Amino acid sequence: MVGMTTTAAPATTAPVVGFDQVTKTYGSVRAVDGLSLRLYPGETVALLGPNGAGKSTTLDLLLGLKPADSGAVSLFGTGPREAIVAGRVGAMLQSGGLMDGVTVAELVRLACSLHPRPYPVSDVLARAGIAQIADRKVDKLSGGQAQRVRFALATAGDSDLIILDEPTTGMDVTARQAFWATMREQADQGRTVLFATHYLEEADAIADRVLVLHRGRLLADGTAAEIKAKAGARRVSFDLEGEVDETALRGLPFLTSLTVSNSGSAAGSGQTVRIQSTDADATVHALYGLGVYPRNLEVAGLGLEQAFVAITAAEEAKQS
């Protein structure tokens, strides 16, 4: 694990969320497996993991929607139920939650009336970008509009912790940008935002802390930069003219992946080679040893998506 001490608030700050050795099983599946973690005020935390990694189960445990088999879950030093009744948590889950037959405004009004510290209904509608569809029945909404309504329900009042499960799925680009701008405001005001996502570019851009779950366990915990560094590989790309000897390239030392594609150059015969290497210096040195002349050579760190794939693939390989 990386970065446990770099992103967390000082040890004197009381955690917003505490998981201590939490396990949840479904039959033989360990959806959450001895998970321990702390989240602190003002953190924006992305929860990443492949399908079935345990992200939704973790959020359900956090919200008290499912009981843990063992271990302890705490919110603001109390149990999830007490924290939710006190209005300290706003949540936007993947599906469900929209009552058929009522209008958007009616549903938002209901959510506001249930919150101990509600915002004005008109503000909630405007912030979620749904004022113009306020009179529409919620069962007549598009997928993206329904997501905006869920977002409105999660921000109906002044909560200290906002939990979002794949919040931008189905939203168009404009809605996504507006959504994250609002979430940034919420975090800047000291709220903790925890979101599960499959959009790694969102995690990279938004989160100041990234958790990588795999088979119910925490594989990595740190800033996006730390996660990228943890993957321990770099990207090398270059163009080659003429026929490319892929077998020779595959023999390069420290190579973890290789793709060759047409470079689309006007000359027509060029190929672009993209490599991942755990020792880029040694790989490039050996590349020149092959007697080729690479053009446009670039060496860069991994993106968060590539780092995520590398970390989870390495774990899969270890376990198989």
Ligand X SMILES: Nc1ncnc2c1ncn2[C@@H]1O[C@H](COP(=O)(O)OP(=O)(O)OP(=O)(O)O)[C@@H](O)[C@H]1O
Q: State the number of binding residues for ligand X (CB under 6 A).
A: 11
User: Does residue number 31 form part of the binding site for ligand X (CB under 6 A)?
Assistant: yes
Which of 191, 243, 182 lies closest to 40, judged by CA? 191
Is 284 or 304 the residue whose CB approaches ligand X more closely? 304
Is 26 or 288 the residue whose CB approaches ligand X more closely? 26
Is 213 or 273 the residue whose CB approaches ligand X more closely? 213
- Considering only residues 34 through 63, tell me which ones interact with ligand X, judged by CB under 6 A: 49, 51-57
User: Does residue number 312 form part of the binding site for ligand X (CB under 6 A)?
Assistant: no
Q: Which residues contact 129 (CB under 8 A, 6 or more apart)?
A: 148, 175, 178
Report how far apart, in Å, the C-alpha atoms of 133 and of each of 106, 108, 137, 177, 191 are: 12, 12, 9, 19, 28
Give the nearest distance from C-beta 60 to ligand X in angstroms. 7
Is 49 or 129 the residue whose CB approaches ligand X more closely? 49
Give the nearest distance from C-beta 95 to ligand X in angstroms. 10
Give the nearest distance from C-beta 130 to ligand X in angstroms. 25
Report how far apart, in Å, the C-alpha atoms of 260 and of each of 247, 285, 312, 317 are: 12, 19, 24, 24
Give the nearest distance from C-beta 220 to ligand X in angstroms. 15
Options 23-31, 140-148, 248-256, 297-305: segment touching ligand X (CB under 6 A) = 23-31
Give the nearest distance from C-beta 62 to ligand X in angstroms. 12
Cα 19 → chain centroid: 18
Is 42 or 49 the residue whose CB approaches ligand X more closely? 49
Give the nearest distance from C-beta 50 to ligand X in angstroms. 7
Q: What is the 3-state secondary structure (H, E, C) of 172-215?
A: CHHHHHHHHHHHHHHHHCCCEEEEECCCHHHHHHHCCEEEEEEC
Is 52 or 79 the residue whose CB approaches ligand X more closely? 52
Give the nearest distance from C-beta 53 to ligand X in angstroms. 4
Give the nearest distance from C-beta 287 to ligand X in angstroms. 38
Is 121 or 213 the residue whose CB approaches ligand X more closely? 213
The only residue of 4, 14, 26, 113 in contact with ligand X, by rule CB under 6 A: 26
Is 53 or 175 the residue whose CB approaches ligand X more closely? 53
Which residues contact ligand X (rule: CB under 6 A)?
26, 29, 31, 49, 51-57
